[in-house]
Structure 1
Amino acid sequence: MTTTRSRPRRGPAPAAISIDAHDIRKTIDGRPIWSGLSFTLDQPGLIALSGPSGSGKTTLLNCLGLLDTVSGGELIIDGNDVTKPQEERRRQLYRHRIGFLFQNYGLVETWTADQNIAVAARFVAAGKERVRLARREALERVGLDGRHDAKIHTLSGGEQQRVALARLIVKRPALILADEPTSALDPTNAALVLDTLRELADDGALVILATHHRSVIERCDALLSLP
């Protein structure tokens, strides 16, 4: 798998991350969600995760993001066996190497945009002033310049997703898991989300994007399909 586009990097590239899945399966309440999945992702890029409704795309993202565990097989992330991860190792990977772009934005509605971004910035190895400037620059990059003090509940859905994007820009995780991030957005905001995810992938991140839209799949570097 190779990335097909190139853009100037906007900051230090995250160290590359790899995912090796060997015959993994997931069962919930005795019901098989998926089984026999094997794949390797070992280079930065934008990967489409596709499949019919109910095929388990969100469940797989949650397992890759260590919010859940597989029921069997072997899952290796960043050289660590996370089939049954130790809590401290899971916490370290989640904090420093993994980022999410949730369909429901995953923001605290009573906080400001800047406060939501600051949560992710806690794990950035840089001085306080540099991180503060990075937060403002990230909001500017997603078209929310001057909105750092706006409460999340006062923002539109598209603006909230932009805040979530700014949070990723500041954190710069090596693995980004995006769950249908454009499904509830208008075309302008959807394009901004896809453009930003592409830039993050070109800057060294492995981005896995769950989608059922053919137009989104066509913008990705590779396709991972669930039956």
Structure 2
Amino acid sequence: MTVEDGQLATISGPSGSGKTTLLNCLALLDRPTEGRILHDRTDMTALGRRGSRRYRRDNIGYLFQHYALIEDATIADNLRLALTTRGDRSARYHEALDRVGLAGREKDRVYQLSGGEQQRVALAQLLLKNPPILLADEPTAALDNANADMVIDTLRKLATAGATVIVATHNDRIRTHADIEHELTPPQVSLRQEQRIR
């Protein structure tokens, strides 16, 4: 599969077909058992642990299905983690939170938020980081229709601005906005293999 800069690609398929595993390999969290992942002339699968960590920090944003936020911290504390540069952080926080519909909520603690609000904080982190590669695992699963549309629109705009956006999803509304659709099928297990597993 090839995804160009400025494209939004969706990965779909039934549970167990490997959507999250594929995203984790693209995010350099898991290592594929075969094949290569290339980005901008870099063989990402050849990077060591330190190189993978640096490449992920500098190039990859991941919108996890379960948000990956620090629950006891405030929204502002969580947003601070996305910024590697100083400058007027406050103005950037306000802008990112405004774009996801959480303006004025910087001091709220994550554990006080609904699942949908936590997903929008995670999206605000990505807006602040603005990575060239953006991965999203079921980003609209916990959202109502209005907020799901906002997330889809934001991902589409990030792709239009030049990011490579890859989304694992069951949501047909995201798929209608995709430039590329890739369908995974569950791995086939022969009867002989099943007997060995037992």
In the superposition, the TM-score normalised over structure 1's length comes to 0.77
Identical pairs, percent: 48
The answer to whether the Cα contact below 8 Å between 1:69 and 1:84 also exists between their aligned partners in 2 is no
CA deviations 1:66-89 (Å, max 9, x no partner) are 011101122223322222421222
Q: Which residue of 1 aligns with 2:48?
A: 86
Structure 2 distance, partners of 1:133, 1:87, is: 35
**Unmatched segments (≥5 aa) in structure 2:** 186-198
- 1:62 pairs with 2:20: no
1:161 alignment partner in structure 2: 119
Match of 1:216 in 2: 174
1:179 aligned to 122, 128, 137, which one? 137
Following TM superposition, the consecutive aligned residue runs of length 4 or more in structure 1 with deviations greater than 4 angstroms are none
- Which structure has more relative contact order (CA 8 Å, sep 6+)? It is 2
| Paired letter, 1:131 | R
Q: Deviations over 1:173-221 (max 9, x none)?
A: 0111100111121112211111111111111111101012222211211
Distance 2:70 2:40 in 1: 29
Q: Which has the higher helix share?
A: 2
Greater Cα offset, 55-64 or 75-84:
75-84
Say whether the 8 Å CA contact 2:7–2:160 is kept in structure 1: yes
Per-residue deviation, 1:130: 2.3
User: Could you say what the CA RMSD is over the residues aligned between the two structures, in angstroms?
Assistant: 1.3
**Could you give the per-residue CA deviations for residues 152-191 of structure 1, whole angstroms, max 9, x where no partner exists?**
0111111111111110110000111100111121112211
User: AA paired with 1:81?
Assistant: D
Contact 1:72 1:83 in 2 (8 A): no
Asked if residue 44 in structure 1 is aligned to residue 6 in structure 2, the reply is yes
Q: Equivalent residue of 1:53, what SS?
A: coil
1:134 maps to which of 72, 81, 92: 92
Number of aligned residues: 185
Distance 1:204 1:142 in 2: 20
Aligned residue number for residue 24 of structure 1: none
Contact 2:136-2:168 within 8 A present in 1 as well: yes
Give the Cα separation in 1 of the matches to 2:97 and 2:129: 13
SS in 2 for 1:191: helix
Q: 2:71 aligns with which of 94, 109, 129?
A: 109
Judging by fraction of residues, say which structure has more strand. Answer: 1
Matched residue, 2:59: 97
